[in-house]
């Protein structure tokens, strides 16, 4: 778990929040959230470049990097109302998947064991395996459900001769028992992969995938309500995994495997906000931001805002649970300043 600051680019924390050191638990003993960078793209099957994602997500904001971001929608400042630290990047060498993913799992486990929520900045989607496994090691295998926004199911078995890659983490999580297949909710799938054999494996495990055709037919709100209800059933926490390619590449071009016909950026941000307000989220990762293919940093900005929406909703949930504010209705604007 050696911390080397930022592996790529300037050594900055997420929007100016304080630093911590994973090898020194005293530096984050009071944390509600610890941000961890996972600059790894050794599992990509198409275009690499997501190793630069953590740096881009940390920097992508035109406002001062002063450790403060008041949310207009939720009337909270998550970077002030939650105790948020940035642990920098885990050292992840693209040529050694086992070592790199293992180091990330240990980092996430250390954060969860301290009582904080890990928010991991990827990196390709290979990192979901150590991220969710690290959480499950603490909370219990099979006790964490997964809400997974993605264009792709990521349930392949072997890619380019390897068990580890960005097309396989969800299968590895289910096979290991870390996450139950019947508490695995996938939102935004589309396109021409995976094939019939993999789909049959998913169906046998009772995975629930909301393809874009269903989302268009039923409406995103209805699909989310159903998915979130399943995620709460017989589980103690929810891991949220957001692949930016769930968004249509016209709005998020900076990703390695773009698939036309996805969610809008607005739909994704609203969905993430609802997830982190309505559910007991115990871990988050944001993956597949690939700056080399971005245009005017719009995908990096999206990754940054996904993190902020998640943190804002967590902060608002905390206040509402404590009775400080009336419960928030995601369908209504907070026009009275609550």
Q: Tell me how many helices (H) and strands (E) the chain has.
A: 10, 8
DSSP string of 163-212, one letter each residue:
S-STTSHHHHHHHHTSS-GGGEEEEEE-SS-S-HHHHHHHHHTT-EEEEH
153-171: per-residue pLDDT in tens? 999 997 776 767 888 999 9
- The more confident residue out of 176 and 158 is 176
Q: How confident is the model at residue 81 (pLDDT cuts 50, 70, 90)?
A: very high
The Cα–Cα gap between 51 and 123 comes to 5
pLDDT of residue 92: 94
Q: Answer whether the bond into residue 123 is a cis peptide, omega within 30°.
A: yes
Return the bridge partners of 34, or none. 85, 118
248 with 261: CB under 8 angstroms?
yes
Give the pLDDT mean for 178-182: 97
204-232: per-residue pLDDT in tens? 999 999 999 999 999 999 999 999 999 99
Q: How confident is the model at residue 323 (pLDDT cuts 50, 70, 90)?
A: confident
Query: In sequence order, what are the residues at sequence separation of 6 or more whose Cβ sits closer than 8 angstroms to the Cβ of residue 175?
Result: none
What is the value of pTM for the model shown?
0.95
What does pLDDT average to over the chain? 94
Q: Which two tokens stand for residue 58?
A: 């940390």
237 with 280: CB under 8 angstroms?
yes
Measured at the CA of 206, the angle between CA 155 and CA 140, to 5 degrees, comes to 80
- Helix ranges (DSSP H) in 205-264: 212-218, 220-232
pLDDT of residue 333: 58
- The more confident residue out of 76 and 161 is 76
Is a pLDDT exceeding 60 seen at residue 183?
Answer: yes
Residue the block writes with tokens 């006790």: 143
Give the pLDDT mean for 115-138: 97
The Cα–Cα gap between 119 and 113 comes to 14
Environment class of residue 25 by beta-carbon count within 10 Å: exposed (0-12), middle (13-18) or buried (19+)?
middle
- The more confident residue out of 9 and 58 is 58
Is a pLDDT exceeding 80 seen at residue 335?
Answer: no
pLDDT of residue 2: 57
Is a pLDDT exceeding 90 seen at residue 329?
Answer: no
pLDDT of residue 286: 98
Give the pLDDT mean for 15-26: 96
Q: Which two tokens stand for residue 302?
A: 């999206």
Q: Which of 44-48, 65-69, 326-330 has the lowest mean pLDDT?
A: 326-330
Give the pLDDT mean for 300-305: 98
Percentage of the chain modeled with pLDDT above 90: 88
Is a pLDDT exceeding 70 seen at residue 325?
Answer: no
Percentage of the chain modeled with pLDDT above 70: 94
Q: Residue-wise over 221-257: b if at least 16 C-beta within 10 A, else e? A: eebbeebbebbbeebebbbbbbbbbbbbbebbbbbbb
């Amino acid at each position: 778990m050696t911390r080397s600051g930022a592996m790529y680019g300037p050594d900055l924390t997420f929007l100016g929040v304080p630093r911590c050191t994973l090898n020194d638990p005293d530096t984050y003993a009071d944390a509600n959230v610890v941000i961890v960078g996972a600059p790894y793209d050794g599992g990509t099957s198409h275009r690499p470049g997501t190793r630069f994602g953590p740096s881009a997500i940390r920097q992508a904001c035109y406002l001062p990097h002063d450790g403060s971001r008041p949310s207009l929608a939720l009337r909270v400042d998550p970077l002030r109302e939650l105790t948020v630290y940035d642990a920098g990047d885990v050292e992840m060498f693209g040529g050694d998947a086992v070592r790199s993913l293992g180091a990330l799992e240990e980092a996430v486990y250390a954060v969860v064991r301290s009582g904080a929520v890990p928010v991991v900045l990827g990196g390709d989607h290979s990192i979901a395996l150590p991220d969710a496994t690290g959480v499950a090691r603490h909370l219990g295998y099979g006790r964490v459900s997964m809400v997974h926004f993605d264009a792709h199911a990521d349930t392949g078995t072997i890619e380019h001769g390897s068990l580890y890659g960005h097309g396989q983490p969800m299968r590895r999580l289910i096979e290991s028992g870390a996450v139950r297949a019947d508490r695995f909710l996938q939102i935004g799938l589309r396109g021409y992969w995976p094939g019939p054999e993999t789909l049959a494996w998913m169906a046998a495990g009772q995975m629930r995938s909301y393809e874009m055709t269903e989302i268009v037919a039923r409406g995103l709100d209805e699909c989310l309500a159903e998915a979130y209800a399943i995620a709460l059933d017989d589980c103690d926490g929810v891991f949220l995994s957001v692949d930016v390619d769930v968004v249509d590449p016209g709005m998020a071009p900076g990703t390695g495997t773009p698939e036309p016909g996805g969610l809008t950026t607005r739909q994704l941000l609203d969905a993430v906000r609802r997830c982190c307000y309505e559910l007991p989220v115990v871990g988050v990762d944001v993956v597949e931001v690939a700056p080399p293919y971005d245009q005017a940093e719009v995908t990096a900005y999206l990754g940054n805002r996904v993190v902020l929406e998640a943190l804002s909703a967590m902060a608002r949930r905390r206040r509402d649970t404590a009775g400080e504010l009336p419960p928030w209705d995601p369908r209504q604007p907070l026009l009275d300043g609550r």
